[in-house]
Chain A
């Protein structure tokens, strides 16, 4: 048996530590080498369980490899590499270190062979992603980070309840398909879905991610939700409840993104939208659907990273993050604009981009499974993606009105990171076999048929027409939109205040009643029992002798009768 010395995730953890310890001049070298070493290590892994260890009386499987796990591990490491390149000189060293530790957690989950290992790396991600949010270094980022951490700790506890229940009731800690027939498996599902930003726990994503730094948000976009998608694929393939959860996420993402004015929050909502497509795919659960989910997660990490890098470049160069402040930037930031547009086309699954070859698999699997309403819903949602991300994002940032701002393109490493991912979007779109060959099942699907191209162009271009026809109705406003986070940011606090007020009233009432009735009684008791009180005095031995004599006399008298 192939014996592994250490899990591939440890390479990035060591990398993160070295980033913290190294001289500043050495940091860029470590930032670039650690993910490359991780990718190389991942590609060496044969299938099967490769590393076990005893832990709390269980034999845990620290590393288990398969084609699907390698695919996710690879894209996580690639994302760390390009995210690292993007922030090579500009991001703070502790932000890069935290980002790499976060990525290491995601890779650890990808290769976790059992539920305990999965949980350990799951929490590892929660900790370091919170640090990345805090690296936004504003008061808003600090508060958003605390809310983010609380949400993920609650999710972690729910997941742990489910995992422990499964361990106790089945005796197995294997990662395998769990039937939704017990409380335990529902808890596992809910714990995993919280990380996928499923309703009603979807607000944390758009609340926290946009508060990261221009570099941190790029890291944040990739790992948490996609490890969750992988966990769903491994634990709950074909659970039909996921179809409806995913459908909700798809439309929720579109509608809230349409309402939004913050450019990175638009993209954050669109992460929920895209993860929704993947969750639907897991719910359909056929081989083609699961292929589609894996391909879409891979493609999505790249184009969403690209979109957030172009948004980050704009924010880094201008300090502005609202649609209402931006516009016309294509004139002075041509590379950022071009890369942003390529990312926007890819997310809209425009033909000849990576999104086209991945999302088609999910839609086709819905059609093959005769899920009529799912297919119509996904098709409408595909149009909606072009509306809210494909056009809205580049339009308001790079075109719309001319804001007069003329910032330059960002430094070379940020440009290089964007160009790299933009190229991958197009290469994967033009040569789908590059991705299809690594999917978990054999792909028997040709995305480039004349009919598919014609219908896709019609769908997208007429959505574009709808955007410009409806443009007057979409005038950006200086607003935020209420979301589920209102419940814990406002309502729960108000309820807590009311409860506290009721409690205070109750305490006052008790004191009042006590003062009127209990008080005098207590006063009497006090006068008797307190030091110096009648019953608390020390009595002379003589008085005891007197009483003993009295009792003796009484006993003698009674005995005489």
Chain B
């Protein structure tokens, strides 16, 4: 339950008038900035020798690709698992209520 005394701001309808972080124009700038930083981390590997532990982890840009791919794989796996495991929030409450009702019948 939300506490009654939490201040609530009125959000303007025009997204460009909202807080800086939520304006479409600034989100575009953030993506460009993030792209530059990501590129820099890969470019930086030119200057350093990465000592490989096991064959492919010494390859150029291995960490970037491996990090990205393993995260995508985990999100997809979680998504698939979610179809099987997700239940409504009151799942356990409903079961308890149903069980209690059954007990009353007996």
Contact = CB atoms under 8 A, between A and B. Distances in A.
B11 A325 contact: no
A402 to B, nearest CB: 5
Interface in B1-60: 1-3, 6-11, 18-19, 21-22, 34, 37-38, 41-42, 44-45, 47-51, 53-54, 57
Contacts of B91: 480
A53 interface: no
Contacts of A386: 71
B50 to A, nearest CB: 4
A259 B78 contact: yes
Contacts of B102: 497
Given A454-B48, A466-B75, A480-B92, A404 B66 contact: no
Contact of A458 (B41, B74, B78): B41
A325 B71 contact: no
Interface string A225-256: 00000000000000000000000000100110
A295 interface: no
B50 A454 contact: yes
Contacts of B95: 489-490
A470 B72 contact: yes
Interface in B73-95: 74-79, 81-82, 84-89, 91-92, 95
A328 interface: yes
Interface stretch (A149-157, A314-322, A547-555): A314-322
A44 interface: no
A451 B51 CA distance: 8
Interface of B is mostly: helix
Interface stretch (A107-115, A352-360, A375-383, A419-427): A375-383
Interface residues of A, number: 63
A157 to B, nearest CB: 26
A407 B34 CA distance: 29
Interface stretch (A5-13, A118-126, A471-479, A535-543): A471-479
A384 interface: yes
B101 interface: no
Contacts of B50: 451, 454-455
A493 interface: yes
A490 B91 CA distance: 10
Given A331-B19, A407-B6, A458-B42, A466 B67 contact: yes
Nearest to A379: B66
A435 interface: no
A450 interface: yes
A289 interface: no
A454 B75 CA distance: 24
Contacts of A470: 71-72, 75
A457 interface: yes
Nearest to B46: A454
Q: Which of A376, A404, A455, A481 has the most CB of B within 10 A?
A: A455
A201 interface: no
A387 B48 contact: no
A478 B47 contact: no
Contacts of B19: 328, 331, 402
Contacts of A497: 99, 102
Given A258-B75, A380-B70, A462-B65, A479 B41 contact: no
A465 B9 CA distance: 31
B70 A384 contact: yes
Interface string A365-405: 00100001001100110011011000000000001011011
Nearest to A399: B21
B47 A450 contact: yes
Given A383-B71, A455-B50, A480-B86, A461 B37 contact: yes
A89 interface: no
B75 A474 contact: yes
B2 A318 contact: yes
Contact of A254 (B7, B34, B74): B74
Contacts of B84: 482
Contacts of A415: none
Contacts of A330: 21
A460 B54 CA distance: 20
B78 A255 contact: yes
B3 A481 contact: no
Contacts of B74: 251, 254-255, 258, 380, 384, 387
A274 interface: no
A463 B85 contact: no
Contacts of A367: 53-54
A467 B71 contact: yes
Contacts of A459: 63-64, 66-67
A251 B77 CA distance: 11
A460 B67 contact: yes
A402 B20 CA distance: 11
A232 B6 CA distance: 45
Given A407-B7, A455-B63, A459-B64, A320 B2 contact: yes
Contacts of A465: 34, 38, 68
Contacts of B47: 450
Q: Which of B67, B77, B87, B89 has the most CB of A within 10 A?
A: B67
Given A318-B6, A328-B19, A259 B85 contact: yes
Given A318-B2, A462-B71, A480-B87, 10 more contacts: A251-B74, A254-B74, A332-B7, A375-B54, A407-B6, A454-B48, A455-B63, A460-B67, A482-B86, A497-B102
Interface of A: 251, 254-255, 258-259, 317-320, 325, 328, 330-332, 367, 372, 375-376, 379-380, 383-384, 386-387, 399, 401-402, 404-407, 450-451, 454-470, 473-474, 477-483, 489-490, 493, 497
8 contacts: A254-B74, A319-B6, A328-B22, A404-B8, A457-B44, A474-B75, A478-B89, A480-B88
